[in-house]
Amino acid sequence: MATSRLMRWVGACLLICTSIAPVNAQFELEAKWVPDHANTLVLINADQIFGSAIATKENWAATGAGAYERGLSIVPPGVGKVMLASQIDLEYLEPIWTIGVFAKGNTSNAVAKLAEQDGREVEQVGSRDLVALSGDQYVVQLDGSTVGVVTPANRQTLARWLKDGDAGRVRLSEYLSNALAFADKNADVIIAFDLENLISKSAARSRLINFESIRASDVDALADAMSKLQGLTLGITIRDGITGALRIDFADGTSGINLVSKKFILEALANNGVMINDFLDWEITTEGTRAVFSGPMTTSGIRKISSLINQPIRAQFADSPGGQQAQPASMGKSTRQYFDTIDLYFRELDEFLRGPRHTNARAYARWFDKYANKIDGLSVRNVDPQMVEFGANISEGFRDVSQGLFSSDATVVGRQATERGVNSSFFYSDYNYGYRSNSSIRKNIKAQEYSKAAETARGILENMRNQIGSMRRDMTARYEDF
């Protein structure tokens, strides 16, 4: 069970010691707000991202709100730096708590604005203003240019967190502290997972024997390496283009690191339904106690990475701190932005099931559920009610696709179980006859069931395509500025 969680973590990146390495100055102030026992850290330098050559060329800053809605920047408009820290239950891959710190922004009245938007009261904890929002969140004014978001919204925990942060003691694990130091020099986005002591060698071995990308003779060596895994760090650098690198770090003296191949990583991603097209063109190298999987990235890839990040912020939080729009957009324009975002998500997911490189549709199953969540989180302020209902229907359809692709596994397991203990099977066709190995039969069963699930998914998406066309016509007729 634990090894399965490990492979999910490898998929999510493609997502507390006493000896602390020196903290880089860029995120030093934010680091003091990380509570004890954090095992996940996300660092984003929005100033560098929006100051990059590609952002300048494509004018990202002028469309910051739209980029945030689409997950392009992973940053609310007007915020210069973001740090997210979480303690993740690695058994169930669910966050126990998440802290967000949003700095260097126009956030002096963020709490008051959010309270006004939601019709809630501004409260105080100590000398600081805070507001409780739906979604089990507290937003607290840390200082004039920094806002903190805490979930779940436990007032006593919040008060203790503020007291510890004011004391200024950095409590990061050694692995996360090194990731923090790495951020300023090498990347604009850092996502790091501290995975020390996550998995035993025997548990790793029991999972790895089913990997098609691993030779039976290599299972023991690779299982030993997995048991000595220290963590994963994904770095994204945005200059005149976008590049990414996934570092897989092991303890000193680990052997078998060279067995962490590209095929192994892609299989781990596919097994958990979190394949990103960008990874197909990446290459892997090993250096010392580290394997590095790297290559070019697209904005589509960044969107998917952002959907894996547990962000304790709601869509309306983006409207308040940035303050980029003095007046709300007309209903026609707001409705069009909402529609364009859904259309963008649909086109990306539809391409998964149509691209010639995508032979295993289930490899992309999780994104349908993640994008359904993204649609549910879009701001519906000033959006036509019919369009909001349309968005809910598309979200439900995405979840149906995800469930269908994942449930095909149950059918595969059931059919393959009937083949256990059978060494071979006679087959006959118009062109040939002979004996097929049990392994070959199992692979064919998997291909057949995934193909059926993909065909059903295509049918659902075809229905969505018709809905999208109809909705575009209706809204164009209704609003001149749609």
Q: Are 246 and 293 in contact (CB under 8 A)?
A: yes
pLDDT at 28 over 70: no
Residue 178 CA to its chain's centroid (Å): 21
**Strands 229-238 and 189-194, bridge-based pairing:** antiparallel
Q: DSSP assignment of 278-296, as one string?
A: GGGG-EEEEETTEEEEEEE
pLDDT digits (tens, 9 = 90+) for 157-193: 899 899 988 887 777 888 998 887 766 566 788 889 9
β-sheet bridge partners, residue 138: 132, 150
How far apart (Å, rounded) are the C-alpha atoms in residues 433 and 448? 20
DSSP state of 238: E
Name the least confident of 9-23, 36-50, 401-415.
Answer: 9-23
Name the least confident of 54-63, 176-185, 240-249, 311-320.
Answer: 311-320
* Percent of the chain whose predicted confidence (pLDDT) is above 70: 77
pLDDT band of 10, cuts 50, 70, 90: very low
DSSP H/E element including 189: strand 189-194
What are the C-alpha distances in Å from 6 to residues 3, 15, 404, 420? Answer: 5, 10, 24, 27
How far apart (Å, rounded) are the C-alpha atoms in residues 202 and 310? 31
- 102 phi/psi in degrees, rounded to 5: -115, 115
How far apart (Å, rounded) are the C-alpha atoms in residues 100 and 135? 14
Give the CA dihedral 44, 46, 49, 50, nearest 10 degrees: 170
The pLDDT value recorded for residue 26 is: 56
Q: Are 191 and 13 in contact (CB under 8 A)?
A: yes
Q: Are 449 and 455 in contact (CB under 8 A)?
A: no
Per-residue pLDDT, averaged over 67-74, amounts to: 65
Q: Are 299 and 242 in contact (CB under 8 A)?
A: yes
Please, is 120 exposed, middle or buried when counting C-beta atoms within 10 Å of its C-beta (0-12, 13-18, 19+)?
Answer: middle
What tokens appear for 301 in the block?
């890839």
Per-residue pLDDT, averaged over 82-97, amounts to: 81
What tokens appear for 205 in the block?
């071995």
pLDDT band of 416, cuts 50, 70, 90: low
Q: Are 53 and 240 in contact (CB under 8 A)?
A: yes
pTM for this one? Answer: 0.78
Q: Are 429 and 314 in contact (CB under 8 A)?
A: no
How far apart (Å, rounded) are the C-alpha atoms in residues 307 and 311? 9
What are the C-alpha distances in Å from 398 to residues 268, 271, 373, 395, 419? Answer: 23, 19, 9, 5, 33
More confident residue, 165 or 329: 165
Give the helix ranges, DSSP H, for 32-125: 46-50, 53-58, 64-70, 110-118
**Strands 283-287 and 123-125, bridge-based pairing:** unpaired
DSSP H/E element including 303: helix 299-308
β-sheet bridge partners, residue 245: 235, 294
The residue type found at 453 is A
pLDDT band of 93, cuts 50, 70, 90: low
More confident residue, 469 or 27: 469
pLDDT digits (tens, 9 = 90+) for 211-260: 888 998 999 999 999 999 999 999 999 888 899 999 999 999 999 899 99
Tell me which residue of 36, 26, 117, 34 sits closest to 80, measured CA to CA: 26
How far apart (Å, rounded) are the C-alpha atoms in residues 67 and 96? 28
For 131, other C-beta atoms within 10 Å of its C-beta total 23
